[in-house]
Structure 1
């Protein structure tokens, strides 16, 4: 029989539990099973979904337009999965919509992406799908007009999780235009029916090698956990940690908040108990029976965000939880309702970078807290900046915006500027990772634009002159030496001594990136904390 070009999708199953058969790998769907043709000598079963024709939902509109029922309008989808036993492994070749017939949690979750990376020519990529670990996680797909190196796609190896990739196979790999994402490996090949076991065996070999580490070693830094079984087990550990009041469980906003307008926070079962900062203990105290807490309870409970105008927004508590679990040489992190696995070596590199960031020697006042009407209050960022500037002779630039063509909206040069050319960026710790990561990005962007854009410096000097005539000359119009400036990240509500250690992991990643980028441009970078203190009684 002549070989015919086919486009195939392949999955590798996890070891079957004793007593389970091939059909147990399928999701619940009506299928017809067909044994393999004896002449092929293949051990397996072909599962074909029983499909029915459905009239499209837009059919009635056409009937109305024509004034009669239009015949022949029908949708019909086909799905099939070929389940094979090869050398003790079970493989699934999916046809049509067959990938939806298998129970995804029973298959190896990195089989597709790892096999693709092991077989791709790293200089001939066509597209990449990325998940960027930000406060508001972003999914991105980049496609090149021609075969390209990985550097063309602008991947940030500190924050981007590679989800899928397509490209041209490297020399010696007898496939055409391969792709991989999570559990599914896709490829083109000339073949005949008897070749299925051979293909499965060869591709398993590609999966097992470590060739990808030559060009794609960074993909092991952080990966999203997809396996439902693993997620369920991690969720169980999370529930146990919450029930045990583990102090490492943090509750934080899953997105960037407008801190100058936020009055405070409350939780389900105590919606009126508004607090100025988010504490996990405030939520845990609302749970009537911790011993009966479930993951569904965490997902259904709400964090309420109250603003100064009386508006209330809400988020699932599960989305707001940040928690790290050490598992051997890996660290598992739940963040924005998703679980990630972080490599120990990567964690070590981030820790080493953080060790290089000095604590600022600048003097800052503590953040004032007080009780009012039965509610706890904390000093707003704006009021704190005013007080810090007045008490230490700093120039107040909070909310003093400078227009630039480099960003979509005007930006602050900084919140506080010292006569010694220290640009201080300030943010509350109370919001968790969302505000902090924004703080680090904000400081980096402002410094880079100030360094490279003369037009921005000219506008900044005008703003500075409006604040104080002595401040204007701190930013020269022409030659600016980055080494003359220090970028200071000030975090309110946390002492400097424990600040770096207490940051959420992804905030540590973003701080490390900001430090490296700014240092490479010649800026000095430091970090500082301002602990809380009771407001003096008048």
Structure 2
């Protein structure tokens, strides 16, 4: 069953399907059953029979083997709301923009037994991570599922109900599925009332308080059009609240440059996704164009081959927008509403982290110069080598510890004489920042291993000859992040990156290490307009500025 939004009407306006829809007459006098629709799809043979007919005489076209897909939607009123109870393929017929998001998840969280959880479905929030479905072999506690509640949002939850008269098992996401043995459908109205009574409770806060922290907006939510409109204003105004980052993890070693395709206005080549160059391309886009949809981003190798699938610019935008008193964040093309208390908590954790930017005074991250440096295939690798030579730091980038044939670890990127382990990444790549956090956590956890200590001692001896390897209490992991956004990292980092770093702080601090942040100033690369293949096209710009598209 699905809870419909308050503006939904109890008629066929809730149905979106193009299939045959028939309104059924009622056999009961139950006034709360407002409408029942039968949805009949096209008649066709099963796909397996059609495939079989290619290798055997199965007569798949015989009408007797064809059957329509059938579904139904029953609209039931309870209090001042409407609930759609679906049968068969009926759930496909509902207009998704009218569905109340998270309804089934909240009901389930309110009624599920804390020690009888069966499965969860989660998704990472900091990038376009894959969905992950986890099922326990036997019912257990939520902690048994190893969900990082600050880094993942819960999409689905299932298990056994505390009140077996309500249901034996419950499973909820946007929809709610309940198992009630020998349930007579004639009592559906009273069951819907009991479901809504559970929905309005806040019992979930005892075991699932994090559900309110991060709420994704469905792609059909009417609010998205308004948020996108605000975002376009920020983009065209060159707002510092916006950053750009690849939505999918891909092989950074093969990445040479990005190209922003603007239709007839041409393609623009960028060495990185720093805000300045991307904003300059947006500024040159025709006013009638939508930069979120009409600019496509290509991640390419040196020989112009794609290293990731093509995304609209919206998928690359990281932004924060306030609307109607609520905070919304965009990441990997998805909008999220963030609970203000959760935001304050994360900001407080980040503010407590030591900032060693001034103490380290790391060299400038010059994108063009690093890109031209032949000493390493990546900009990050060239930067680490340059810093190691200039500052006399130990270089551990790509200098791996091998525990077994397929078990290896990079301790950090740079090691300072003050026992600071620098993990270095550019803020223009969200998946890489996830790797940055994971690198620090995994390194801290492996500290006591003999092979780890041997590799650390080897490099430590190069910068502090004769001195013993530092104890973990004297060591400090520094997350060194290159960004062209002004201000301290505690203020300029995108919120979901802060969530990851807050998690890192918690994990590493448990192991007795210090944690610090360091900002690396960035000089963005040039924006070059590529020459069109058309003979009439003018030559590309040579000064790095975006040419006037008109």
Query: What is the TM-score of this pair, normalised by structure 2?
Result: 0.84
- Separation in structure 2 between the aligned mates of residue 344 and residue 173 of structure 1, nearest angstrom: 37
- Correspondent of 2:12 among 23, 27, 45: 23
**1:366-381 residue pairs with structure 2 within 5 A?**
366-367=363-364, 369=366, 380-381=379-380
What's the CA shift string for 1:215-247, capped at 9, x where partnerless? 110111112111521223322322333234333
> Which residues of structure 1 form unaligned runs of 5+?
1-9
- Separation in structure 1 between the aligned mates of residue 59 and residue 306 of structure 2, nearest angstrom: 50
Q: CA deviation at 1:89?
A: 2.2
Aligned to 1:303: 297
- Correspondent of 1:517 among 507, 511, 514: 507
- Separation in structure 1 between the aligned mates of residue 429 and residue 57 of structure 2, nearest angstrom: 60
**1:77-476 residue pairs with structure 2 within 5 A?**
77-171=69-163, 173-226=165-218, 227-256=220-249, 262-269=255-262, 273-286=268-281, 290-294=286-290, 298-313=292-307, 314-327=310-323, 330-360=326-356, 362-367=359-364, 369=366, 380-405=379-404, 409-429=407-427, 431-451=428-448, 453-458=449-454, 461=457, 464=459, 468=462, 475=469
Q: CA deviation at 1:497?
A: 5.1
Residues 389 and 285 (structure 1 numbering): CA distance in 2 closer, same or farther, change over 3 Å?
A: closer
Aligned to 1:62: 52
How many positions carry a matched residue from both structures?
Answer: 511
- Separation in structure 2 between the aligned mates of residue 317 and residue 409 of structure 1, nearest angstrom: 37
- CA-based RMSD of the aligned residues comes to 3.2
Of 344-353 and 363-372, deviating more is 363-372
SS of residue in 2 equivalent to 1:137: coil
> Which residues of structure 2 form unaligned runs of 5+?
526-550
- Separation in structure 2 between the aligned mates of residue 105 and residue 386 of structure 1, nearest angstrom: 52
Residues 68 and 103 (structure 1 numbering): CA distance in 2 closer, same or farther, change over 3 Å?
A: closer
What's the CA shift string for 1:126-155, capped at 9, x where partnerless? 111111224341211111122211111001
Q: CA deviation at 1:487?
A: 0.8
Aligned to 1:12: 3
What's the CA shift string for 1:377-427, capped at 9, x where partnerless? 9x932232223222222112222111135x955222111112332211112
- Separation in structure 1 between the aligned mates of residue 466 and residue 412 of structure 2, nearest angstrom: 14
Residues 180 and 68 (structure 1 numbering): CA distance in 2 closer, same or farther, change over 3 Å?
A: closer
Residues 534 and 22 (structure 1 numbering): CA distance in 2 closer, same or farther, change over 3 Å?
A: closer
Q: CA deviation at 1:290?
A: 4.9
Residues 278 and 77 (structure 1 numbering): CA distance in 2 closer, same or farther, change over 3 Å?
A: same
What's the CA shift string for 1:469-490, capped at 9, x where partnerless? 95797548xxxx4212111111
What's the CA shift string for 1:433-489, capped at 9, x where partnerless? 3322321221221221123x334434555x638x8395797548xxxx421211111
SS of residue in 2 equivalent to 1:347: helix
